[in-house]
Structure 1
């Protein structure tokens, strides 16, 4: 995509605070966005070919939503932790194996989606994100699950054994939707786990709210 086309998007973004440029084969995070660090609230660069998220991402202090689904990211810069207003971070379909510890500084984060990456372990530091409600780690290679303070935990198509589901997630957590299809056990066998009935009470109550 030429600079003129990006310029046109930038002009619109100055008015709306939203920059969306998906499926254009961009090889890198557009340097031109640096002009809008003061007012960009939403950035969506899904379905491109971005391999590196620059350290300059930490300058976007007003950003509330960052979407980089289906790119080629293998890591995130430490500076991601400077986005104190970030509420939504979507990184599905990349090549991530871990997150920087500074992700734990994203105190406003409510939704973190990491489906279809290459995680083998549950990312460290997420326990400090007290407002995190939704975590999607489906389609990775995770083998163990800590009991996090979440409402929605998606772990489909990993490498979990039934015994790796903590009793505390069923009995004492806020998790009202635990998705574990496509792992190394049959979902129906969860009925035999201690605390399953308590989990189902939360699940049913949540389902009724949205019925």
Structure 2
């Protein structure tokens, strides 16, 4: 029994707004209802639960409920009666069925990653507040057509499913900006070609001097390493991919996109694909980024849902904000030219340095976890226009954090990218051209 569960049962958590219990629970602890007048966030991830009580709605202030890594085979219908519930997360369960009655009326953010769902109810399209829908790693071949009524939908993760094509109506969603679609039948052949190693350097594990862990994300760990180079050694980073499905899709899709992206001065340079790991682990060897670079923002919070969280009080000199935008536009045009969509163009996936000398990268675009080969034809163009909308969000944020007078064209370009008629947005090549003067600001 965990300390949190003991404290709950002892009545020591009165007034709590957040409760997290991972204690091998097989039944819902009814003492939770003692917190009904205050509880807003309930996290029951990492237990052995398969049901929730029918009277869950007694938690009348509940806004967020996580129950990932449990044993649910159906999304509980009790959720649908929770009047204030906005965020629902049931990742890595055994869910095959999503009843219409399980969808809360105020739903904004639904996470059903890594389950076995083959179909979703039409009622999902009636949740007009829906902004974030995360469905990677399921058995979906289609989405309910009613979702095209969800004009507020901004982020969609349908990677690692069974789609033979993207639904055509996705191209018309006015605010969709972040789409993960890799690892589906329509782009599996392109991914396989990219991973086959044609034109990509190979770096042997035995040639690396591997050091400490630099970081760890959903798709893998990043290790410090040194690679022999001429008469000396060069500092590199090694990303070792995990095998599990992440919120963005399969790590092997990220590997394929990273290799296909090729070289560009505003992307984190990939030196080659790792081979010969003793456990057969897939990986990439990349340039080690100097410590002067740091992440521009943090990822979205429960409250912000789809918007990054910038450091409090951050003010960017106007020329720095413009250079960041120009760097990203250049990188995005390069990716689109190579048949890729980034799918996760966010400030939290940018590294930047405020003191970058003129002519050097002020920022570097990374994290290819949601990147994918865009399908040919109109839907590929639609996926790229989604990236352009994401760029518009980023540019507007950069303008808001800029210190000093901005050129008139900055907010105009942001507005053009945010146009709710996707076909009227500029393409990435135009973005790069319109931001060229900013690169030398």
Q: TM-score, normalised by structure 1?
A: 0.74
Cα shift at 1:208? 4.1
Q: Which residue of 1 aligns with 2:323?
A: none
Distance 1:148 1:22 in 2: 36
Cα shift at 1:17? 2.1
Q: Which residue of 2 aligns with 1:119?
A: 140
After the TM superposition, which residues 79-118 of structure 1 pair with which residues of structure 2 at under 5 Å, given as runs?
79-81=101-103, 83-118=104-139
Matched, 1:138 2:138: no
Cα shift at 1:205? 3.9
Larger Rg over CA atoms: 2
Matched, 1:47 2:69: yes
Instruction: Specify whether residues 182 and 143 from structure 1 end up closer, same or farther in structure 2 by C-alpha distance, changes over 3 A only.
Output: farther
Q: Which residue of 1 aligns with 2:50?
A: 27
Distance 2:119 2:26 in 1: 33
| Bigger mean CA offset, 103-112 vs 54-63 | 54-63
Distance 2:340 2:45 in 1: 39
Q: Which residue of 2 aligns with 1:59?
A: 81
Distance 2:114 2:127 in 1: 21
Q: 1:189 aligns with which of 339, 346, 357?
A: 339
Matched, 1:6 2:29: yes
Instruction: Specify whether residues 85 and 202 from structure 1 end up closer, same or farther in structure 2 by C-alpha distance, changes over 3 A only.
Output: closer
Q: Which residue of 2 aligns with 1:171?
A: none
Distance 1:104 1:26 in 2: 28
Q: 2:177–2:390: 8 Å Cα contact kept in structure 1?
A: no
Cα shift at 1:201? 4.8
Q: Which residue of 2 aligns with 1:70?
A: 92
Number of equivalent positions = 191
> Where in structure 1 are there 5+ consecutive unaligned residues?
163-178
Question: In angstroms, what is the RMSD of aligned CA positions?
Answer: 3.4
Cα shift at 1:34? 4.2
Cα shift at 1:86? 1.1
Q: Which has the higher strand share?
A: 2
Cα shift at 1:108? 0.8
Q: 1:120–1:140: 8 Å Cα contact kept in structure 2?
A: yes
Matched, 1:16 2:87: no
Q: TM-score, normalised by structure 2?
A: 0.38
